[in-house]
Amino acid sequence: MKKNTVLSRAFLFLMFLFLYAPIFVLIVFSFNDSKSNAVWGGFTLDWYVQLFQNQTVLTALRTTLLVSLLATLAATVAGTAAAIGFSSMRRRSRNLCLTVNNIPLTNPDIITGVSMMLLFVFAGQVLADLSAWLNAQSWAEQANLWFNFSFNLGFWTLLIAHITFDIPYVILSVLPRIRQLDPNLAEAALDLGASPLTAFRKVVLPELMPGIINGALIAFTMSIDDFVISYFTAGSQVSTLSMVVYSMVRRRVSPEINALSTLMFVAVLVLLIAINVRQARQDAARQRELRSAGRV
Amino acid sequence: MAKELIRLQNLCMAFDDEPVLNNINLYINDKEFLTLLGPSGCGKTTTLRIIGGFTTPTSGDVLFDGVRINDVPPNRRQINTVFQKYALFPHLNVFENVAFGLRLKRVPDPKDSAGKRMVRLTEEEIRSRVMEMLEVVSLKGFENRKPDALSGGQQQRVAIARALVNRPKVLLLDEPLGALDLKLRKDMQIELKRIQQQVGITFVYVTHDQEEALTMSDTIVVMDKGTIQQIGSPEDIYNEPKNAFVADFIGESNIIDGVMLRDKCVKMYGREFACLDGGFAENEPVDVVIRPEDIDIVPPEQGQLVGTVTSVTFKGMQYDIIVDFRGFKWLIQTTDHSPVGARIGVKIDPDGFHIMKKSAYSGQFGDYSSYSDEYDELSDADAVGTDEQEDGYAE
């Protein structure tokens, strides 16, 4: 019995070691005053300083934050609306929609990325052809019109891709909240004189808010650390942070990368902790509710 | 006299071609306490939801003060609802829950002489009306509590205050006491009746509990299978049930096949009995209702009928004894103990009989052969709490 505990503890230790040793090394060497990733040359913040003087990194940071924020915003609105729609469906169509919703979650990123890239390229080509056709028409010439609907991979395709892969996460975190919702709540608000919109805003939305915020946080985390899908949909002109890290590694391994990766790790870690703390609080609150309901 | 406030005309309702309401005709007077009573699935809640505006009837009209309101949404009706599970807003405290309707209200601006501009209520007015209402439901001092920090009875009263603070013409209550324990339920019945008399508005109350209905109502509407079985005062419904279903659903009843020989004379078990009813055809087959408390036990030689006691249950105030009269078992409630197996006579005064025309329900109710089963069923249902269907009648 005792032997078992020792063994299981050792196993646990090894697991954490394998999981966190790389990240630990990364963080330590981001403060290393040496170009080598093997020799400790003393503590320095130089790599962080250099990082923040690197225009490529700063532009990528701006792009990443902008894309993540906009994608989170759009996905949260769309995902919440979709979740509400799902919940008012009949069981069969709802289950179908949920399955369709879950496929992108389990789909390998590379497939999502490549398929989106192909779709964008195809749509761009179709629109380019359409523009050319319109421009060839005599009425367009007479009216002195020049159409150009075509587009290339870039910021907007990147944003659309992010919104797309964020939406299922929002739906998954809002749906359980809707299921817990007392269907009479909205009716009670209507009954007290609220218009359907006011009832939604003042009663339903506050009740769904914890789920919505959780969904937004997860979506933001997913967006900020996505590499594969971004890589295929951003085109050659736009880069996110993870793409910059990738291209830096391809040139030469610089401790700047350690610094950048450390910062990204910390940012995502903070978000994850926030999500977990929120979740724990909600669970505690639900426990309290259940207990008080049991008492009454 | 009493002014008519709501009228339901030829109301029909079907969900997915499944009829729920069949041709409901009903009027509700101003300041009346009206109860829709029936087993679950009888259509009483659907009727309430139609009055509240949450469900649109398949056909038929809802009139409010003479105006057709079928298409008026719930937020534009002068009707408020107390929901079965209260539906308090969990993120708002008691004060804000009660103030919810007032904050949405727009009233003519007192400063605008034309009276066209609409303004919100002032914060002082909202505060004073909310506090006044919390006083009515005895919840002063609870303003800052969240609903989940209240007991069931308190939540119940918040729900009532939240509805009444809007000064509706009608308050709809959907089994509001279903989730409370027995003692609290009895207190709240009296409390509800008091509040209704204090604020002086119409209450439309939905319940499956016949005792609750008898205690509180001015008018009871007994429903079954989407059809109104009887409308009347509690006394009417109890003393003059229209058919076997009503007789059995409201209290305990022995229902026996009989023949009306002539006015004030009914024949059953081959014997003639004097009664007070009349107006039937000669030799018309009828259902005879005898309430268990209207039967006197006498020595066999003095009895109008003689039977054998098959079971005795002590109920505190009385004994429930089951007596076999030629295979048909009666329930008799008496303060005198008779041992199982005893031969006893019974005597029924003329006013103890109630004669009903035969109906679709004849023969389904009123035999206590399965009494002990029914008793078990009832106590089970009480333990479960709300949705029991068999309240008061044997399958």
Amino acid (1-letter code) at residue A48: Y
Between CA B354 and CA B275 the distance in angstroms is: 8
The pLDDT of residue A290: 63
Can you tell me whether residue A291 is helix, strand or coil?
A: helix
B162 touches chain A (CB under 8 A): yes
Residue B359 · residue B152 · CB < 8 Å: no
For A178-181, which contacts have Cβ atoms below 8 Å and span 24 or more sequence positions? A178/A83, A178/A84, A178/A87, A178/A208, A178/A211, A179/A87, A181/A207, A181/A208
Both structure tokens of B180: 């409370």
Q: What is the pLDDT of residue A296?
A: 41
Q: Is the CB of B73 less than 8 angstroms away from the CB of A190? A: yes
* Partners of residue A185 in chain B, C-beta under 8 Å: 87, 89
Count of A-B CB contacts under 8 Å: 69
DSSP for residue B24: E
Closest CB to A187 among B54, B90, B91: B54
Nearest-CB residue to B152 (from A202, A288, A296): A296
How crowded is residue A20: how many other Cβ atoms within 10 Å of its Cβ?
11
Residues from chain B that touch A192, judged by Cβ atoms under 8 A, are 75, 80, 100-101, 104, 162-163, 166
Q: Which CATH class is domain A25-103+154-295?
A: mainly alpha
Of A191, A203, A295, the CB nearest to B81: A191
What are the pLDDT tens digits along chain B (395 aa)?
578 889 998 888 888 888 888 888 999 998 899 999 988 888 888 999 999 988 888 888 999 888 888 888 888 888 999 988 889 998 899 999 999 999 988 887 777 677 677 888 888 889 999 998 898 888 888 888 888 888 888 898 899 899 989 888 899 999 888 777 888 888 888 888 888 888 888 999 999 888 888 988 999 999 998 889 999 999 988 888 888 888 888 888 888 888 888 888 888 887 888 888 877 888 888 888 888 888 888 888 888 888 888 888 888 888 888 888 887 888 888 888 888 888 888 888 888 888 888 887 777 777 776 655 444 444 434 433 333 333 333 33
Whether the CB of B89 is below 8 Å from some CB of chain A: the reply is yes
Q: Which residues contact A192 (CB under 8 A, 6 or more apart)?
A: B75, B80, B100, B101, B104, B162, B163, B166
Q: Which two tokens stand for residue B242?
A: 């229209």
The ranges assigned to domains in chain A are: 25-103+154-295
Q: At what angle do helices A155-180 and A55-87 cross, to 10 degrees?
A: 40
Alpha helices by DSSP H, chain B: 44-52, 94-104, 123-136, 152-164, 182-199, 210-216, 234-239, 244-249, 371-384
* Nearest Cβ partner for A191 among B80, B148, B151: B80
Contact B75 A292 (CB under 8 A): no
Q: How far apart are CA A202 and CA A184, in angstroms?
A: 14
- Which residues are CB-neighbours of B349 under 8 A, at least 6 positions away? B294, B296
Residues 6+ apart with CB under 8 A from B312: B319, B320, B321, B322, B337, B338, B339, B340
Amino acid at B233: S
Q: Which residue is closest to A285 within chain B, CA to CA?
A: B148
- Whether A188 sits inside 8 A of B83 (CB atoms) is yes
Distance of CA A259 to the CA centre of its chain: 22
The 3-state DSSP class for residue B379 equals: helix
Q: Which residue of A has its CA nearest to B49?
A: A187
- Report the C-alpha gap between B174 and B44 in whole angstroms: 9
> B183 touching A, CB under 8 A?
no
